[in-house]
Structure 1
Amino acid sequence: MEKIYEALARFIERHPRWIIAIALVITLAAVPGITMLETETGFSALVSDEAEISVNNARYEAEFGGEPFTVLLTGTTEDILSPANLEQMAKLEQFLLSDERYCCVTSPLALLEAVTGATYKENPEVILYAVFDQQGNLNPVITSLFPDSEHGLVQITPAGNLNDNDALLAAQTIENFLGENPFQNVSTTVISDAGLINSITISIGSNIAILLGLAMAVMIVVLMLFFRIHWRLLSLGMVGMSAIWTFGLMGYLSVPMSMATMAVLPILIGLGIDFSIQFQNRYQEEITRCGSVGDAIITSISRMFPVVGVGLLATIAGFITLFVSDVPMIKDFGLMLSVGIIFSFILGLFLLHSVVYVADRRTPVEKLKTKSKQASGRIERMLTILGRNAIKHTVWVSLIALMLAVAGGYFDSRLAVNTDYEELMPQDEPALEEVRHLREITGSGGQLRFLIEASDVASPEVIGWMKEWGDQALETYPQIRSVNSLATLITQSTGGIIPPAEQIKGIISSSPEIFTYGLVSDESSMASIAFNTSYISMEEVHDLISNLQELADTPPGISVASVGTMALGAQTIDSVIGSRMLLNLLCLVAVFVIILLSYRRLVSAVLTVLPVAAVIAWSSMVMYLIDIPLNPLTAILGVLIIGIGTEFMVMINGRYREEKGLGETPEEAMVTAITKTGRAVMATALTTLGGFAVMIVSSFVMIRDFGIVTVIGVLLCLLITLGVVPGLIVWYDNIINKNRKKRAE
């Protein structure tokens, strides 16, 4: 293997300009890919299209249409129902129903036309007479569309299964029509999930630019202050180029930008810079011992390639386990981080050494040696003291670490969960404020919908079961405000009883379409039941759906499936949080196998995996104490900690093994490892912290919380790498040496 490493180093020494040229060409080729990046912020980023709930929801929307748009009318009831505005409602309905993107319009006018049998265009007097009764009260048929005396509602059901862009265009078409045909003395606001998703999309674009600029600025400051070597910003250039390659490839492969993949940028900069810093740090060290720049590069690569290579494999193994996740954006997150880390390694190995060789080869070696020694003195003295203390106080330090890990395991099971995208997006977005304003006016948090299928959903047996289910739900769960189903329509017509089959079919066929739409399919094989709820958290929604399905006690021959945006949102709790422990376990196993196969020493694998697992537990305790919940990003913190912690420990352990091989005692070898490699680990940790810390200023609550917990995680990884693990390794090796001496005697 040594010959392979040396041959690789000599190849770089002989062809530096070609390597630089190729890297620049690839970078230029990647730039157009970045312009092709598309954003995906709907539920398709959180729930796979192949998931059962997605399939059922697609079937539901194909039959009953998509998530309704709401037009909020702000004005007095009299103004909203004035002749001029009723005429505008008639124009709006005619305009929308002539467009195949819209299925149904439920407005005060549409309901009045349905119950009177007249149209406003032909018989406006009949409609106007039906608005109020003789006592001046609103017609009961339209009261549901007037939550108070200052607001009215128009519900518009779009065609089902529109993609985010088409749904947004459909909502904007309504806005444009209302802008060109305004109501008199009444303001209109179109509120839709599509508008909320578009708001998130725009915010992602602006957040990326801010995060990139801040991450670069912070890392420049960190490297200038703490990585005091020649060409100290070169490592940042390498990782910046790897980010261009990664995001360019994302564009070419049509991997979408989401709230998760947006976080790839600062994470990649923080993690990927480690390889370049480690290579550059070792070159800086070797130049003090070698007679030429070429020899220093060859020695550096020969020593560092196997160690950094093991770190790379272990980190990638950890990130690849994210493919087990059921959440599409988490899979994309794992894919792009893995690719980005590989690019960072390649650039650190080939391009960095090529640039260093071209830049330094004409500089006198003695001058380079002097600069290197001046740069490394102070921080190495500090690390030497840290290393000696870590070894000296192994027992009590390890006991404290163990007790905190046990406490962390206890608190982990008590972490709160938040997968509500409304609460995870920027809180000052106008679209979100409109949604919340509508919620305050109506008092409704949304609808829990269920798709019901049977050979005949209009049979008395199925209708009776639906009525019983709805009645029990209203009695059992106070958060349910009302129920709407085919059973509701039938029993309202019959005074609460379930009539014979022929009478049911007669009621359905004679009812205006506006009352039956969304309740039953034409062939009576599908039906819908909607539970209107007050506003509750997504975790409560998740539990309520489960309770309702259990309460249904579905008879044979009937199937029930939860559908709609609330159900899709609740599904992310199972997808994200349910697989969290599995992801962590698989990641630890993957790292264990890689370390074991690489070093062929069980203790090396154990003393890498167990400390990393302890850091995961510590982080959970901190999250609990500072009240940060699990969300789609913080739920994968464990995998990230494993990647960072493993990288740090592999670097220290690799140098320790190297120094031991040169004849040093375990104590001396570990102090040397911490002193020499620890400098690069410290620089990496600080730059990584800088990369993650910028996420704290993100307006995305999910990104901000992730930034906070990852900063804490990196600090804890650094603490256990330099303060706990070294003592354990030395303690174990001393025991082995004593046993060998006893056997030798």
Structure 2
Amino acid sequence: VRKFYTDVPTTAQEAAAIGQMVRENTMVYGRLVSKDEKTTLVIVDLAKGRFSQDLYNRILSLAKKYQGPERIYVAGRPIVEGTMAILGPRDMARMGPLVILVITLVLFLVLRRLSRTILVLAVVLCSTLWAFGLMLAVGVPIYTVSIMIPVMLIAIGVAYGIHLYNQIDYFTRQNPNADRYSVVTNVIDVIFSPVLFTALTTMAGFISLLTSQVFPVKWFGVFSAFGVLMELILTMLLIPAGIMLFGTKKGAKSEVKKTVTGSSISNDGTKAVILEKPDGLGSRFADTVIAHPRWVILGVVVVVALSVFGLSRVWINSSFLANFEKNSDIVTTDAFINKNFGGTSTLNVIFDSSDPDTFKKPALLNLLNDAQKGVLTLDKVGDATSITDYLRRMNRVMHEDRMEFDTIPDDQNLIAQYLLLYEMSGDPDNLWKVVDSDYRGANLTVQLKSDDTQTIRRVVAYFDSYASKFAEQGVGIHYAGSGYKSMVFADLILQGQISSLWISVLIVILLVALMFKSWSLGFIAAIPVTIAMLANFGVMGLLNIPLTTSTAIISSIAVGIGVDYGIHFIERYRETLKETKDPVVSGQFSMGLTGRAVFLNAAIVIAGFMVLLFSVVLATDNFDYADRLPQGVEHPRLEVPAGAPYTVHTADLVDPVHPWRHDSA
């Protein structure tokens, strides 16, 4: 065992000799040097926990410094995470003002008064600043998912202001001569309860994220809930104070007239109030629903059926690179590596036994070799490396480089001699990355040309099919590596979201039931958001949009946000029904009055979330989540990297551990 070279070649003949050795060494050719001989890799293994923003910047500076006619690329999982650490704050700095601008314009169009717009903006901006201030005060870092906090708090907080001003306008139309104190008293008396419970249900949606096993998701839920609480408090303080300072618009001609007739008597003998139906789209929509209830129910059934069908086609994708634009540098670099080398994502398959020298047994090594060859036939698998590569290479070289000896020796003693020879002549530190020092554990590194969950699951399932055969040899199989970590991350997110969805729905039902003192109304309020949530996932399935961590997180939040509409409508309907004793009229009136506020509320929330379309990050998946996850199986004797190493120079890092980097057998 000897090195390819000790000094950089100075003549063409020396360089040609090294080139020939590379071509003849299958452990290097096509793995560290591309087969067109135009690209090579420099792989950097990082110690666990040593990656930092400073190191990230220094690596990029080195690549830029030494780049000449040759192009130098830098990539890999740590580089992706480092890029996200830069893009996250940039995204927040860019989208924050954009969200404020969009919301300001929409608010002004809706409220039609600058003072009202400023007050509502003051509520949401202060709440957002306090949420981030609390994060910094308690020492919680700002993760990539934190980008969503200001967008959501701004979109959610303005809804409270809209409902307050909607009630103010309604009251002043009915009471044009009411003084400011009367207006404030009325709005607090009428709106406080529904706004309180809508805030509580929204907070419940965020708090339900505490069921997640991923810490950044937990913190996201906690500080978003805190922001909503601050919005509730400030809304009930600042807006009434603003009314006392700035007054209200002069009451216009009453759009909704109240008359009492002696001929309108309810079933219980009480006199009913007859309300004139308000004009507007909401009222006309109510007329349509009331006139055609069967068609409405049929339409809902069709939507649910299509949603269930679409839901069955939803697929999960935890790909980190899917969060970047296809023409971004990091994606094109990754594609370049996948084209010329084995791949940038890795799966470490750990084989573990309790007996020393287990991985010197020919039968076991041949089984490992068969499994390694088989995995190479799977789609998107680029390469695989294990101790068998060493042994086959040494056996071949020891037999005059004859191809028929590119096999595992049948003699355990001969295998032991080969390994001892490498330990003495080569670099044993490299060897310990594919096998431990007492040969009880082995690491097979699989290079993948994609980091999507489907590919990783397929490879894991393949090795699981070998589990019984290895068990017969007294060997167990475990997994680690960047690819496996992505899959585990996705599973944890989704498992947490399933729990949080159920919890948020149950909390919503409970809170609404407590508010209205009716379990039936609690279930009724939960029906629209449940159908909407089902339809959302159904559309994703029908359009082949993968379920990612960001969409999973939003689903539980949507329950808390969406139920707000039902609470405001039910509250208005119940109050109106007490006066009219007529369910149809109450429905028409509630839709015409509260329906307008609900529509404007939804429009502003949509406008706030639409700003995310301008994000550099295609999805707000948190690349830092993985740092909070178990690093796969940490073998006490094997040097399995916690994440992908870097590759520099015309390529990027390939995650597999190539212990034979500079050695030639």
Per the normalisation by structure 2, the TM-score is 0.78
Runs of at least 5 residues in structure 2 that lack an aligned partner in the other structure: 257-275, 396-404, 622-665
Does the Cα contact within 8 Å between 1:409 and 1:621 map onto a contact in 2? Answer: yes
| Aligned ranges 1:730-745 → 2 under 5 Å | none
The 8 Å contact of residues 120 and 127 in structure 1, kept in 2 or not, is answered as no
Partner Cα distance (1:160, 1:652) in 2: 54
Is the 1:483–1:530 contact (alpha carbons within 8 Å) kept by the matching residues of 2? yes
- Is the Cα contact below 8 Å between 1:118 and 1:127 reproduced in 2? no
| 1:647 CA drift (Å) | 0.4
1:265 aligns with 2:150: yes
Instruction: Give the partner amino acid of 1:542.
Output: R
1:486 to 387, 406, 410: 387
Q: What amino acid is the match of 2:40?
A: G
Give the secondary-structure state (helix, strand or coil) at the position aligned to 2:178: coil
Give matches, 1:454-493, under 5 Å: 454-456=353-355, 458-460=357-359, 464-475=363-374, 478-479=377-378, 480-493=381-394
What is the CA-CA distance between 1:564 and the residue it aligns to?
Answer: 1.2
Residue 315 of structure 1 is matched in structure 2 by 202
AA at the equivalent of 1:645: G
Q: Which residue of structure 1 lines up, in the alignment, with residue 578 of structure 2?
A: 661
Amino acid at match of 1:490: L
Equivalent residues of 2:529, 2:563 under 8 A apart: yes
Find the counterpart in structure 2 of residue 690 from structure 1: 607
Change (3 A) 1:381 1:128: closer
**Could you give the per-residue CA deviations for residues 96-148 of structure 1, whole angstroms, max 9, x where no partner exists?**
xxxxxxxxxxxxxxxxxx625973289999976851559x9666664342212
Confirm whether residue 160 of structure 1 aligns to residue 36 of structure 2: no
Report how many residues are paired: 579
Structure 2 residue aligned with 1:430: 329
Aligned twin of 2:626:
none
Offset of residue 334 of structure 1: 2.0
| Equivalent of residue 592 in structure 1, options 509, 533, 557 | 509
Name which of 141, 145, 150 aligns with 2:38.
150
Structure 1 residue 701, shift from structure 2 partner: 1.7
- 1:138 and 1:488 map into 2 onto residues whose CA distance is 14
Higher helix share: 1
Kept in 2: contact 1:424–1:701 (CA 8 A): yes
Q: 1:530-541, aligned counterparts within 5 Å?
A: 530-535=445-450, 537-541=452-456
Identify which of 386, 390, 402 aligns with 2:289: 390
Partner deviation per Cα, 1:289-326 (whole Å, 9 max, x = no partner): 37321121112111211111121222222221122123
Task: Give the letter for the 1:161 counterpart.
Answer: G
Change (3 A) 1:434 1:372: farther
Q: Please say if residues 85 and 144 of structure 2, whose CA atoms lie closer than 8 Å, have aligned partners that are also in contact.
A: no
Structure with more relative contact order (C-alpha pairs < 8 Å, separation 6 or more): 2
Aligned equivalent of 1:42: none
Identify the match of residue 300 of structure 2 among 386, 389, 401: 401
Q: 2:478 aligns with which of 561, 567, 574?
A: 561
- Superposed CA offset, 1:74-97 (max 9, x none): xxxxxxxxxxxxxxxxxxxxxxxx
Distance in 2, matches of 1:443 and 1:523, equals 29
The residue type equivalent to 1:212 in the other structure is G
2-side partners of 1:395 and 1:484: how far apart?
Answer: 64
Distance in 2 (alpha carbons) for counterparts of 1:528 and 1:170 = 31
1:547 is matched with which residue? 462
1:345 Cα deviation from its structure 2 partner = 0.8
3-state SS, counterpart of residue 287 of structure 1: helix
Shift of 1:412: 0.6
Superposed CA deviations along residues 432-469 of structure 1, whole A, max 9, x for unmatched, are 32222222222535432123333456434667435413
1:287 is aligned to 2:202 = no
Q: Report the CA distance between 1:609 and its aligned residue.
A: 1.4
Once residues 140 and 291 of structure 1 are traced to their aligned partners in structure 2, the CA distance between those partners, rounded to angstroms, is 89
Q: Which residue of 2 aligns with 1:73?
A: none
Partner of 1:249 in structure 2? 134
Aligned partners of 1:385, 1:249: CA distance in 2, in Å? 46
Question: Which residue identity is paired with 1:208?
Answer: M
Q: 1:308 to 1:430 in 2, by over 3 A?
A: same
1:209 and 2:93 are equivalent in the alignment: yes
Q: Is contact 1:539–1:573 with CA below 8 Å preserved after alignment?
A: no
Aligned partner of 1:350 among 223, 231, 237: 237
The answer as to 2:2 corresponding to 1:115 is yes
**2:107 is equivalent to residue 223 of structure 1:** yes
Distance 1:660 1:460, change over 3 A: closer
Asked if the contact 2:360–2:439 (Cα under 8 Å) also holds between the matched residues in 1, the reply is no
| Distance in 2 (alpha carbons) for counterparts of 1:371 and 1:214 | 37
Tell me the secondary structure at the aligned position of residue 45 of structure 2: strand
The one-letter amino acid paired with 1:158 is L
- AA paired with 1:572? F
SS of equivalent to 2:446: strand
Q: Is the 8 A contact 1:276 1:345 kept in 2?
A: no
In structure 1, the partner of 2:350 is 451
2:520 counterpart of 1:603: yes
Letter of the 2:459 partner, please give it: L
**The one of 139, 149, 163 aligned to 1:278:** 163
Q: CA deviation at 1:651?
A: 0.5
Q: CA 1:137–1:302 in 2, change beyond 3 Å: closer, same or farther?
A: closer
> Which residue of structure 2 aligns with residue 497 of structure 1?
409
Distance 1:123 1:511, change over 3 A: farther
What letter corresponds to residue 251 of structure 2 in structure 1? K
Partner Cα distance (2:438, 2:9) in 1: 33
Q: Which amino acid aligns with 1:160?
A: K
Residue 101 of structure 2 corresponds to residue 193 of structure 1: no
Match of 1:48 in 2: none
Q: In the alignment, residue 429 of structure 1 is paired with which amino acid?
A: S
* Consecutive unaligned residues in structure 1, runs of 5 or more: 1-113, 705-745
The answer to whether residue 587 in structure 2 is matched with residue 670 in structure 1 is yes
Cα deviation 1:9-36 (Å, max 9, x = unaligned): xxxxxxxxxxxxxxxxxxxxxxxxxxxx
Alignment of 1:179-190 (within 5 A): 179=65, 182=66, 186-190=70-74
Which residue among 512, 516, 538 is the counterpart of 2:426?
512
Question: Offset of 1:380 from its aligned partner?
Answer: 5.3
Distance 2:299 2:70 in 1: 66
Q: For residue 487 of structure 1, what is the amino acid of its counterpart?
A: T
Give the letter aligned to residue 314 of structure 1.
T
Note the 1:40-59 alignment, pairs <5 A. none
Letter in 1 for 2:442: A
Q: Residues 329-366 of structure 1: CA distance to partner in whole angstroms, max 9, x if unpaired? A: 33233223212211111111112211221222xxxx8x
The answer to whether 1:368 aligns with 2:250 is yes
d(CA) in 2 for partners of 1:616 and 1:603?
20
Q: Quote the residue 1:110 is aligned against.
A: none
Counterpart amino acid of residue 511 in structure 2: I
The one-letter amino acid of 2:512's match is I
Shift of 1:519: 1.6
How far apart are the structure 2 equivalents of 1:316 and 1:118? Answer: 64
Give the counterpart of 1:324 among 203, 207, 211. 211
Q: Which amino acid aligns with 1:216?
A: I
Counting only pairs closer than 5 Å after superposition, residues 97-116 of structure 1 correspond to structure 2 as 115-116=2-3
Displacement of 1:517 after TM fit?
Answer: 4.4
Deviates more, 1:451-460 or 1:684-693: 451-460
CA 1:639–1:463: 2 relative to 1, 3 Å: farther
Instruction: Give, in whole Å, the separation in 2 of the partners of 1:319 and 1:122.
Output: 62
Q: Amino acid of the residue matched to residue 209 of structure 1?
A: A
* One-letter amino acid of the counterpart of residue 671, structure 1: Q
Deviation at 1:491? Answer: 4.0
In structure 2, how many angstroms separate the alpha carbons of the residues matched to 1:326 and 1:238?
A: 32
- Cα contact 1:391–1:667 (8 A) shared by 2: yes
- Name the % identity: 19
